[in-house]
Structure 1
């Protein structure tokens, strides 16, 4: 593999095309500049189609890679200029005196000279970009010929379905029990329905195909089925192709292989009195309709019971799709270190039968690097087999040259298994993860917001549907990578939502391997290449060399000094952790295109005045900054802000209600002054996730609380009960509807504190609850109780002890059989 890593350009082209489309019709730009936007789109559209193929084949031909590198540089420059135009639009919208006008009319408030000056400056830059792309466009036909030639060369290789070779089961390590269990499961299922099966699920390189081959061989040797067939599915779940290849295992001639009906007719004849086992290897397709149509077609022609399908997949989602039919899932686990060591020894001895193998402690220390994957154990065994003497092994494991050889061999194997199957946009998102330190905990929301800032998430092109929020698309991307076993050690909140994950060491190495040309982890003395887009620095007191303009993500960990010569105008994401300096470097002030800013564990005392001009900022995270007195007064002007995190009351910006794009606001401190009152929440109806409201005792009246419009924030998962703790004078409380997953009432200790004040309680919307919450017995001042849509079957005995209860109202509690007479006697009003 090329030392410069891989290039993923198609998602970047999508970002550029999306922005040119949105800008081309904006009157705020001069007609000449609008025409250049249109020209840019016309150049990129035909290039995009060829770039997809060039991406896939870039490792097979240096000419493809050189062309992609030139294209990559030009498109990055175009995106940077387009973002500069986007900032200019936001700047005018925020700072013009005609703020109250509609955004599409904002341009009328500017003098022609201002508009023309900016447009003329941008026009010159876009002319240069378009000229570069025009030269690249001239090579498209030649590049396409190379791609077609390489694809034809690959097509002449033997199809994977023909590669069902015999294995010596004695050579396979650690899978005997798995094979026996799968065969037993197949036998148990066969009598229950005409077609049943098992999906073998596991991470790439864990040996799914090997186990499936052993099951195939066992079924064939023991004649468990009349016919056994093997089809490699990979990316294309094509029912007609699968049926055609299945038919090849019968001794018959295909009349008309071009129609699925003809294939089904021939198969029907062959299966009239015979049973079959069909192995579908490497299923990646997640389209339920394809799977259902295939199985439905097969079911129609099956006359006998006892047929089975075994499929292998790395995708939990693909496995869940197949389980819509009579399929069960078998999770294939990683091997132990001892088993990996056995594989390494077998590979080495296959090359040198008389070779002396080192002792187990040395071998096990090597085997631990396999991560339980036989694929990696085989690769390591291959690199060690060239070393004849056993006493060499300990020495070479410390040798840098061998480590490089081992690393390249292992990562190439991982790339083939884990990485190559991903679509381009996920390859880009995965490679971005290399910027995180190895073994670190990666917060899911942070990662998605960084993807957004880097332009790695794109809207689905479907005009018939409402556009999906970028965050939701990011969640889909994350789940795809998780489903492909690229994330692990997932942590969830109380609602089952994923909060964080980690990457296996080998997977992290893979991410660094494929992103080598874009992501750079700086070390003392190293040079920062102009092609790097993502830069992480972890050091104290060191002065970084000048950072080139192309850097989009910058992670600074420790007390790092940045050269004044650095040009950070293109920066999209900035993360500052543990800085000891009290002020941000001057080079960090003019960050017009910044979309993600995190400052944590820092001694910074103030943010620069230019902070309030970060009009493109989407995420702001300021935590554990005990010396920072407040955020700038104009923070409420950051209209693009979607995610705001802070952990100190001092840092809550005044007038937060103006930030109507906010989606994440975990903490809100209620104050008595205007701009800090609870009514600031009123217009923030896009809020999602958790919201903790502190200082509720500052709410002056019921009408003020109502203006927060919490009932309209339907996407909130949780408003912690701790919010109720300070409401010791609250007289009325309504709760519901409740999560249908709850089996019993949560331990709301806060309600106990309201025993002396609460007079009216309304509970509604929980059909699962079979008895009243026990906490109610402590509400000695309760006068009115309204219960609606509960599954309550009977009232508890203590209910009659609520001596202050004067009104009881029950609606739609259809399971309630009776009410104790003592309870009725205390109520003056009941309905």
Structure 2
């Protein structure tokens, strides 16, 4: 699946070749013929790439061919970037030399400069020729495999990138009124004779457990059942100190830096004194009862009032049985009806302001809704994709007739829906989405920072900020982003990704992105181009420090000491937030 974004890498290399092939300096370097050869190979490879992606699951040689192509395409892009940089540097140097006598006085002697330039010329010419030979070989292999040029009638319809309105960005909540009432009643009936009552919400991914928890908590807080509400996203890192620390930080932002557990407990006890609290532990995976017992013991210790409650959302019945007060306090979330799924899809596709929907489109839409199999996330994502086509009947039919949506298993069907919507994204959006796999699950993604990361990777066009905002909104429209946070001017500043959406992004880049979720001992990291390191996978940092990490393009190091010698020759993004840098040497140039 990682090869779905390969076409963008090939396109980027091809675009760079086209811009360099007529340049005066490149002509002076006698690289025109080699660059033309690169252009020819890349153009032919790009033409058969979609056919290769479709055949890779059936033909092992084609899968291996794509793997080789991925490596060479990245290498070609790096070499061409280096060539473009040297081209730009030469032009700036020529301008400075022509306009400044002082620059000439302090620069190398003319003879030294000539030798260095000649050596660089030979080096770059060799790199270009080597890439040319590799790509030519790969092109010939493609012809041997009988790969076909994909004609326009086989290309899926693409979404309208400019169609973004506020009405389709808000998540519609349909068919959950009874569920909200049930949660509110359970919390209202929490036992005032005991310190903690635990209510669990159980269901498969994509059913809306988090949304239900939010709606239920909102209502009980409005009714003043509790004095305080605390929300902690747990995910697969069930660490009692982290959870207690985040609880304290929610109650007192100035206490976020405490690392001593006893100090955290003392401050929590002060903050909760005389208060009745509601704690939400969202997305819990831990099935080790001792971890829960340790946390519960500490929560009881800091809670002087009775009648407090905890809402737990989880996909696991085992987690619910470990944590809940009793099965009476468990709520299992059911699937939606086909009509409810169609209602969500209609909202996402047309918005609240749509007066009427053509009958033929409505019939098609209702058939597609059946394939959501009652999962609201699937309905939202498909609705966003269909909305991008506006009233294109053929595009809607292509979704309805897709064999991808014929899975009999609900979980597999949700994954199929997400993959289908990804396939319908414009090519330039695919790497932007796939890049988000570098963030951990449940991460608060800052929109401005994300656009800057896309910019550093070269994913955006010439109007960088405008393109970045447009790309972000398109992914949001398609429900690849959710849980947006806005500022006082209604501008989006942060968002998250649903776990299943994140899983898709990670599957697309599993051979290139190493993060907390897919990092295991013994992983082959030689092809890794994006690395996220923190305390949980710090051993990977050690592994990289012993190797040449020259292929890395993005490096995130969080909350661990960064001290070592690195060779980062292709680095485009370096994030050292909380890295406790003491001393290090980074080699960033080739």
Query: Which TM-score tier does this pair reach, normalised by the shorter chain?
Result: 0.5 to 0.7
Q: Is the 8 A contact 1:12 1:456 kept in 2?
A: no
1:520 and 2:509 matched: no
User: What residue is the counterpart of 2:79 in the other structure?
Assistant: 81
Larger Cα-atom Rg: 1
| Structure 1 segment 88-127 matched on structure 2, within 5 A | 88-89=86-87, 98=96, 101=99, 111-127=113-129
User: What residue is the counterpart of 1:574 in the other structure?
Assistant: 555
Work out which of the residue numbers 20, 24, 29 in structure 2 matches 1:31: 29
User: What residue is the counterpart of 1:161 in the other structure?
Assistant: none
Q: Distance in 2 between matches of 1:74 and 1:421?
A: 26
Q: Is the 8 A contact 2:344 2:383 kept in 1?
A: no
More helix by share: 2
Work out which of the residue numbers 40, 43, 47 in structure 1 matches 2:41: 43
Q: Distance in 1 between matches of 2:13 and 2:137?
A: 18
Partner of 2:459: helix, strand, or coil? coil
Work out which of the residue numbers 431, 434, 439 in structure 2 matches 1:431: 434
1:727-780 Cα offsets, whole Å, 9 max, x none, are xxxxxxxxxxxxxxxxxxxxxxxxxxxxxxxxxxxxxxxxxxxxxxxxxxxxxx
User: What residue is the counterpart of 2:443 in the other structure?
Assistant: 440
Q: Is the 8 A contact 1:13 1:44 kept in 2?
A: yes
Q: Distance in 1 between matches of 2:564 and 2:345?
A: 63
Q: Distance in 1 between matches of 2:474 and 2:91?
A: 38
1:411-434 Cα offsets, whole Å, 9 max, x none, are 643444432322333222222211
Q: Is the 8 A contact 2:14 2:39 kept in 1?
A: yes
User: What residue is the counterpart of 2:15 in the other structure?
Assistant: 18
Q: Is the 8 A contact 2:564 2:584 kept in 1?
A: no
Q: Distance in 2 between matches of 1:99 and 1:454?
A: 31
1:701-740 Cα offsets, whole Å, 9 max, x none, are xxxxxxxxxxxxxxxxxxxxxxxxxxxxxxxxxxxxxxxx
CA 1:75 to 1:113, structure 2 compared with 1: closer, same or farther past 3 Å? same
1:129 and 2:131 matched: yes
In structure 1, the gaps of 5 or more residues are 155-172, 178-201, 217-227, 232-277, 285-311, 323-374, 384-405, 460-466, 545-559, 616-831
Q: Distance in 1 between matches of 2:109 and 2:35?
A: 21
In structure 2, the gaps of 5 or more residues are 101-106, 157-173, 179-206, 209-334, 347-357, 369-380, 392-403
Partner of 2:581: helix, strand, or coil? coil
Q: Is the 8 A contact 2:418 2:501 kept in 1?
A: no
Work out which of the residue numbers 338, 359, 365 in structure 2 matches 1:281: 365
Q: Distance in 2 between matches of 1:279 and 1:533?
A: 45
TM-score, normalized by length of structure 1?
A: 0.39
1:422 and 2:425 matched: yes
TM-score, normalized by length of structure 2?
A: 0.52
Q: Is the 8 A contact 2:512 2:528 kept in 1?
A: yes
User: What residue is the counterpart of 2:531 in the other structure?
Assistant: 535
CA 1:13 to 1:523, structure 2 compared with 1: closer, same or farther past 3 Å? closer
Q: Is the 8 A contact 1:592 1:614 kept in 2?
A: yes
1:603 and 2:584 matched: no
| Structure 1 segment 516-665 matched on structure 2, within 5 A | 516-521=510-515, 523=519, 525-539=521-535, 542-544=538-540, 560-561=541-542, 563-581=544-562, 584-587=563-566, 591-604=568-581
1:782-825 Cα offsets, whole Å, 9 max, x none, are xxxxxxxxxxxxxxxxxxxxxxxxxxxxxxxxxxxxxxxxxxxx
Q: Is the 8 A contact 1:43 1:134 kept in 2?
A: yes
1:81-105 Cα offsets, whole Å, 9 max, x none, are 1222244345556788936759xxx
Q: Is the 8 A contact 2:48 2:150 kept in 1?
A: no
Q: Is the 8 A contact 1:411 1:510 kept in 2?
A: no
Q: CA RMSD in A?
A: 4.9
Q: Is the 8 A contact 1:411 1:509 kept in 2?
A: no
Q: Distance in 2 between matches of 1:126 and 1:63?
A: 27
Work out which of the residue numbers 384, 398, 405 in structure 2 matches 1:315: 384
CA 1:543 to 1:118, structure 2 compared with 1: closer, same or farther past 3 Å? same
Q: Is the 8 A contact 2:385 2:421 kept in 1?
A: no
Q: Distance in 1 between matches of 2:50 and 2:139?
A: 14
Aligned residues: 376
CA 1:417 to 1:148, structure 2 compared with 1: closer, same or farther past 3 Å? closer
Tell me how far 1:68 sits from its aligned partner: 2.4
Bigger drift between 569-578 and 136-145 goes to 136-145
Q: Is the 8 A contact 1:93 1:99 kept in 2?
A: no
RCO higher in structure (CA 8 A, sep ≥6)? 2
